Amino acid sequence: MTESKQVILNHQEINHKIRRIAYQIYESNVDDAEVILAGIDSNGYILAKKLKANLDKISDLEVVLCKVIIDKKNPLEAIITSIDASAYTNKSIVLIDDVLNSGTTLIYGVKHFLNVPLKRFKTAVLVNRNHKKFPVKADYKGISLSTSLQEHVEVILTGKSYEAYLK
């Protein structure tokens, strides 16, 4: 049996969503000099880099990228960030991932950043599924999607053509 997949966002739509999220981040941080984009390793970090490129075009914000490494199978393990905690102390942070599914990855990411005082903390995802088991929400989202628990959302942000699909 072949697995069927349904495209939910094509390349052009993903770029449009990224640009829109970048504008929302800028509007929320317009009075700040700097914002930290903390992308969860792999697709979340790729999305953070694309958001940074858009923010660099539309704003004069100093955008600092931070890679957040979380063991998704063992989220209680130590979380590693590519920049020292002193670099985001009293700053505005946006924690970014590609898909918000159960909320497990985001909630443990949030927990890590709450160990230091922050000016503002927001979350951003490209696809927000409505199956949360933790009280975490996406402040900025590309699309909200109601799916069954058996369905899986996959996002491809590498190569010449980006795609998000349901399988």
For residue 145, the 8-state DSSP code is: E
CATH 2.60.120.1060 assigned to domain 6-166? The reply is: no
Reported pTM:
0.92
User: Which whole number is the average pLDDT over 130-158?
Assistant: 84
Q: So what's the pLDDT on residue 1?
A: 45
| In the chain, where the domains are located | 6-166
Residue 50 burial class via C-beta count within 10 angstroms: exposed 0-12, middle 13-18, buried 19 and up: buried
The angle at the Cα of 74, spanning 125 to 80, to the nearest 5 degrees, equals: 65
Strand pairing category for 80-81 and 62-69:
antiparallel
Confidence check: pLDDT of 22 > 90: yes
pLDDT value, residue 64? 97
Per-residue pLDDT band at 140 (split at 50, 70, 90): very high
Q: List, for residues 103-121, the tens digit of each pLDDT value.
A: 888 988 998 998 899 999 9
